[in-house]
Structure 1
Amino acid sequence: MQQIFEVPPRWIPESPTVAAFVEVWGTRPLGRFLINSAIIGLVVTVLSVTLAFFAGYGLSRFRFRGASHLAQFILLTQMLPEVMLVVPYFVIMAKLGLTNTYAALIMAYTSFALPFATWMLKGYMDSIPKELDEAALIDGCSRLAALTRIVGPVAAPGIAVTSVFSLILSWNHYLFALALTNREEMFTFSVGLASFMGEYRTTWNFVMAASLIGAAPLLFATALAERSLVRGLSAGAVRG
């Protein structure tokens, strides 16, 4: 611990140890924080990607009055600062009795992830030839069957990219989790990590150990989707 504050800093410690990784589990319910973030992150990812899949397909394939305005409105929602929304959202959740619940955080995070996911998947759908849909419809598929059986598998790389970004967004979110939870057993990982920082003392060895532990699930998810990430980012970057 003392080596952290040495000046000049010691880049290579004299006696490396993993004690902080072991002891950090006993100072806070770190496992509970991870479970809370995992539950919220997975539900938000499934909800936002599923809804964005259909929304992105509709914006990409159908031309209707107000389509461009709808797309611009979706983009506009990303420009609103979160700090402007947290107080009214907290008041609504408090009146509904949903503070300290998964539902409040899931709805909040989905509202942030969904517009982003919709734009991501719309861009990827634009790169998929419409002839695939038309061929499926000619062969007797319904529009829904063509979407799920033909377009869906082709769009798998884009779905993987969007899923990873949605998971990262919900996992790292701090402000709404801080405002909507005041019981330690309901803290997400980001709020739990901040609890290691006290008013008079911060245990930096525990902060850094917990940060690495919290980053591990995201690194694992990114590694699983590595090939799809590369294909999805490159294919969704252009249209045609």
Structure 2
Amino acid sequence: MARPNPFDLSGQVAVVTGGASGMGRAIAVRMREAGSQVVVVDKNPNTKRILKEKGPGDAAVVIADVSEPHAHQDILRRAAEPFGTPTILVNDAGIYPNVAVLDATPEFFDLVYETNLRGLALTSIAFSKLLIAEGGAGSIINIASVDGLKASLPSGLAPYAATKAGVMALTRHMAVELGPQGIAVNGIAPGTVMTEGVLTGLGGREAALEKMAHLVARNPTGRVAEPDDIAKVAVFLASDAASYVRGQTLVVDGGVTLN
């Protein structure tokens, strides 16, 4: 008798914030391929068109900004309309601004914090309350960063890194509090990933690879991550294959932080 596939997400409903591009869209695609229904939450008004062109074309869409302080219950209510109560939440929405710490204003710190940490926390709370009210079980996957562990650049990412370290701490504490309620909480800390934002900021793929040559030289895999590298780990953490994994933030950087 064949055993069930532990990576099968059939019957699940996954909400992916920041799912219109980059890692978020790759995660949405992989979740759908694994059998889950998918709802993408993104502030980009063109999200529906983007997903139809680049996948997953049958994902439902909620246009919303997780940095808004009182939007999260409404976001989850709208996310539940197409397929029912969400059982998986992937908190990928985030911003990656680069400003030297001596130039960082209170307004800049607020901007980064409101999206990367507060928005993630409040979305998780709204998701958890909805799921608990329905008596269901599920999982939360928080996208952190290796910058929450060590400095990857000589300057410019201090506020961002502080929020990502906060994401890791929040992941641990939410895992302890929500585990008895049937909600698994884990995270992923990617290294550098070839997202659209990175490619645009560095002048295209060839220019990006040239500028990242020092990272490739330190990487045991000999390459820089693609969004799908992160997406496959997200599917693992959402699946029954990770049923005994709690409060962990998996570093997915090809081994760069090892040296």
> Looking at both structures, which has the greater relative contact order when contacts are Cα pairs under 8 Å and sequence separation is at least 6?
1
Structure label with greater radius of gyration = 1
Q: TM-score, with normalisation over the residues of structure 2?
A: 0.29
**Structure with the higher strand share, 1 or 2:** 2
Q: TM-score, with normalisation over the residues of structure 1?
A: 0.30
